[in-house]
């Protein structure tokens, strides 16, 4: 089956909230001709499904500043899921109409912010597991050149899991929205 047909099936599965099917179709696409995944690729269907569930269950606080309908939010989630799974082209399906999404430069910025939110939430769950084994972690905020003053201030200190600011920062006033991330350090 070619990539375009699998993309269509993935899109339909995501539209029906059938996350497992979307993940399994993606793995089917990336398997080589012998029916095995390339050795360098470690794909865990359950982890992919958990990440997609995080995406479909939440909407990042920093995106609350854009005024869009719930239907359009769901479309953005599908677009982000398509991008996360295997860099599928959500544009081909006209998932997101052309809209003005100020303060973001483009709809792609929103999709990227959603993906960052998913990886942040998933990483937090993994970090909590690590902490339960006695491993100590510190977090540093990594701002962008055009980050707001508060995010730049966050970057001046190291935080624990319990006291770190949630990224993307909800009250960021950067013209492009918060695009900061974390650097984890073992202590």
pLDDT in tens, 121-143: 777 778 888 888 888 888 899 88
pLDDT of res. 20: 92
pLDDT of res. 32: 56
Coil/strand/helix, residue 184: strand
Q: For residue 124, report the phi and psi dihedrals to the nearest 5 degrees.
A: -60, -40
pTM of structure: 0.67
What does pLDDT average to over the chain? 80
Cα(169)–Cα(148) distance, rounded to whole angstroms?
Answer: 10
| pLDDT(164) > 80 | yes
Q: How far, CA to CA in Å, does 161 sit from each of 64, 131, 135, 154, 164?
A: 24, 9, 12, 14, 6
Segment among 15-19, 57-61, 138-142 with least mean pLDDT: 57-61
Tokens of 134: 């006695």
Mean pLDDT of 82-95: 76
pLDDT of res. 3: 77
pLDDT of res. 98: 63
| pLDDT(150) > 90 | yes
List Cβ neighbours of 177 (8 Å cut-off, separation of 6 or more). 62, 63, 65, 103, 104, 109, 113, 168
Mark 142-167 as b/e (b = at least 16 C-beta within 10 Å).
ebeeebbebbeebeeeeeeeeebbeb
């Amino acid at each position: 089956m070619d990539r375009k047909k699998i993309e269509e099936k993935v899109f339909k599965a995501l539209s029906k909230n059938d996350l497992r099917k979307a993940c399994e179709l993606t793995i089917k696409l990336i398997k080589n001709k012998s029916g095995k995944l390339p050795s360098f690729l470690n794909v865990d269907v359950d982890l992919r499904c958990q990440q997609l569930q995080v995406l479909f269950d939440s909407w990042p606080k920093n995106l609350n500043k854009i005024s869009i309908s719930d239907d359009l939010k769901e479309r953005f989630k599908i677009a982000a899921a398509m991008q996360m799974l295997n860099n599928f082209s959500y544009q081909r399906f006209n998932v997101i109409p052309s809209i003005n999404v100020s303060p973001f430069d483009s709809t792609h910025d929103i999709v990227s912010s959603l993906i960052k939110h998913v990886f942040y939430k998933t990483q937090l769950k993994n970090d909590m597991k690590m902490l339960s084994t006695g491993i100590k972690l510190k977090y540093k905020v990594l701002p962008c050149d055009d980050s707001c003053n508060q995010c730049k201030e966050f970057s001046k200190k190291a935080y624990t899991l319990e006291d770190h600011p949630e990224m993307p920062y909800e009250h960021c006033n950067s013209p492009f929205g918060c695009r900061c991330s974390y650097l984890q350090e073992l202590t």
